[in-house]
Structure 1
Amino acid sequence: MNPAQALFKRSVAVRLIVSAIACMTTLPAPAADPSEFSRAEKLVFVEHQLANVKAPASLRYTFVKSGSLEAGFEDEVRIDVKRKGKGCCVVQGSFLSGEHKMQLPEIEDPQSNPVILYFLERDIHEMERLTKGKSGYFRKRIRMTMVDEATVRDTKITYDGREIDAQEVSLTPYEKDPLRARFEKYAQKRYTFVLASLVPGGVYQVRTALPGALPSDAPVLEEVMTFAGRVAGGKQPSKK
């Protein structure tokens, strides 16, 4: 398999995974050799992030939107992992509330944490709203950048009162975009994924940030989703 074929196979696999979870296709993702994925793809889309979560369980994340572009807000995201016969589980997501709420499908026997794809799907639709571009194009740019342009670095985070190992995946999908001129306002938008195997569900934080004109300026737009803990006893998360 030449490099172009390998790139195409990886891209198709990830596209189908993302599309299936976003209820955009009923086609199953083809089996793919994990060795064919980049390290960034493995960390974000392929690894068994839910291996440390035993059903039934609920995971809660805070979501904060801020910046000078438009009004911000604070909300919550929840992932419910339910038992399913003798199999692994079924995951149901609750992403934001009120006018911001996303309708999400149940996902059967997931390995990677669907919360990442839910976040990305919302971001893609926000890009479509803000730029009048096509969601498929933004989805493709994120996917392709993840393959060969994303950077991965080891880092540390503080979780449960102690410092633990984590990996940070970072990418700027529109910086080298051939159609950059059409989306110049968002060319520097950065996506960052902070992943840690000791955090339930494997996902500590996902954020996007569009920097200001000067390094000292606050972000024009920033959205941050951060793990906030398990929901005890299956209770609904409280609003703050």
Structure 2
Amino acid sequence: MMKTRFAVILFCMLLSCFGQAYAVPGYSEINNALFDKSHLKNINESAKLTYKYQKTSYTEGNREDTIVMSVDNIRNTGRRDTQFEFFTGKHNRPYQAMNDQRGNPIFVYFLEFDVHEMDRLTGGEWRYFQRKLRWAMAAGADKKQVEIDYQGKKVEATQYTIQPYVDDPKNGRYKLYAGKYYIFTLSEAVPGEIYQIRTVVPDGLTWDGEQVPLIDETVTLFDYRPEH
């Protein structure tokens, strides 16, 4: 019970810390795309969305897992109720069901996981990395149009990329992760609109997409299954 209460409190804190609940003139495009859009409006029936988690790491080895988001209580306003099974077994993170949602919470939960991983891996403080992410999003992201393969079809998507730590004068304290990239791929053609969240730790401060990263983590929409 304490875990679920903590998860609710943490979720609310994350929403206020990572971004704003509604778009405000002057806010960056990535903030508005992640925090203001009604991602769930294209889900018009109760369904389960399965996201595949994949991690390759030269420091800790590889891991695969799943994240399942259940969506139900479909409303004409575009709001839905969501429930998560975020990882399985010993890696499961307890999150309570969240009702009356417009946006897809998958990226908020992943960023919560990510900053605590940064805390664990660097001996730093998760709130510090959270602030860096928030400021990087406020400053704006590199944006490009891409084509993704979803269920055997090519569909158009928008990709936003930030490097929240690269200009941090204190990044010598966590040098291995100073160049870390966060890449968000969104498409209105996929259920829930958030297709993939990816983080890449390059061997250096830059990555051109060709070199093998030191650490590569992805959360990718893998399956959409209506519940009849």
TM over 0.5: yes
Aligned residues between the structures? 215
- In the alignment, residue 167 of structure 2 is paired with which amino acid? K
> What corresponds to 1:41 in structure 2?
31
TM-aligned CA distance change 1:86 to 1:166, over 3 Å:
closer
1:62 to 44, 52, 72: 52
| Structure 1 residue 212 displacement after superposition | 2.4
Question: CA separation in 1, counterparts of 2:211 and 2:29?
Answer: 32
> What corresponds to 1:219 in structure 2?
213
- CA deviations on 1:98-117 (whole Å, 9 max, x unpaired) are 12111112212112210111
Unaligned runs of 5+ in 2: 1-7
- In the alignment, residue 200 of structure 1 is paired with which amino acid? P
Identity of aligned residues (%): 30
| Structure 1 residue 180 displacement after superposition | 1.4
TM-score normalised by length of structure 1: 0.80
> What corresponds to 1:3 in structure 2?
none
Dislocated runs of 4+, deviation >4 Å: 23-27, 29-33, 84-87, 213-217
For residue 212 of structure 1, give the secondary structure of its aligned residue in structure 2: coil
- In the alignment, residue 93 of structure 1 is paired with which amino acid? F
> What corresponds to 2:94 in structure 1?
103
Question: CA separation in 2, counterparts of 1:198 and 1:118?
Answer: 22
- CA deviations on 1:10-34 (whole Å, 9 max, x unpaired) are xxxxxxxxx966254898x976443
1:135 to 126, 138, 141: 126
For residue 129 of structure 1, give the secondary structure of its aligned residue in structure 2: helix
- In the alignment, residue 22 of structure 1 is paired with which amino acid? F
- In the alignment, residue 72 of structure 2 is paired with which amino acid? K
- Does 2:157 match 1:166? yes
For residue 124 of structure 2, give the secondary structure of its aligned residue in structure 1: coil
What does residue range 151-190 of structure 1 map to in structure 2 within 5 Å? 151-190=142-181
> What corresponds to 2:188 in structure 1?
197
TM-score normalised by length of structure 2: 0.84
| Structure 1 residue 232 displacement after superposition | 4.6
Unaligned runs of 5+ in 1: 1-18, 235-240
> What corresponds to 1:53 in structure 2?
43
Question: CA separation in 2, counterparts of 1:144 and 1:25?
Answer: 14
| Structure 1 residue 161 displacement after superposition | 2.7
| Structure 1 residue 178 displacement after superposition | 3.0
> What corresponds to 1:91 in structure 2?
82
Question: CA separation in 2, counterparts of 1:84 and 1:225?
Answer: 25
- CA deviations on 1:93-132 (whole Å, 9 max, x unpaired) are 1111112111112212112210111111111110000011
- In the alignment, residue 147 of structure 1 is paired with which amino acid? A
1:125 to 86, 102, 116: 116
For residue 22 of structure 1, give the secondary structure of its aligned residue in structure 2: helix
> What corresponds to 1:210 in structure 2?
201
